[in-house]
Amino acid sequence: MDIAKLLNYSSVGYKASESPDGYVYKTFLKVRDYEVDAEGIVNNANYLHYLEHTRHEFCNWAGLSFKEMHLSGLDPVLRKVTITYLHPLTLGQWMESRVRIARRGPVFVFLQDIFTLEGEAVVKAEVEVVCLKNGVLSRGHELVDAFKDYFYEQGS
């Protein structure tokens, strides 16, 4: 992908029913110098930052500000992250970070993948999020309403 086009297409979102590939949100990120280790590849912990950034941007795009959620007493928190590293990224390399979202009871499941611009899979992750309402575990009904158009259905 041409970098000039990339900068004009920094992120895009879809309703689940309109997504061409099941992903409801995609954004592009570039590897920065402080994210690589002595081997010249992205340190594994930085992929967690990329995934978090993408989830937060998706929430903002879907109309959910973390600040506003917190001020209303709603706090989404990580329950579990499972990540599979498939291919390293290097300094200055661009990536496309993608999100699908599903639900298992009170748990919101973010199915996240990172690809090189050439389409090679870099990371596959499953991120489980639960909601606290005024400090107490909740079923996250507020998020269900906000995400209703974005839930991924297995097999679709």
Q: Report, as residue numbers or ranges, the catalytic residues.
A: 37
- C-alpha to C-alpha distance for 117 and 95, rounded to whole angstroms: 6
Mind giving me the DSSP string for 70-98?
A: HHTTEEEEEEEEEEEE-S--BTT-EEEEE
Q: Which residues is 123 bridged to in the sheet?
A: 85, 114
Question: What six digits make up the tokens of 51?
Answer: 């995934």
* Phi, psi angles (nearest 5°) of residue 40: 85, 10
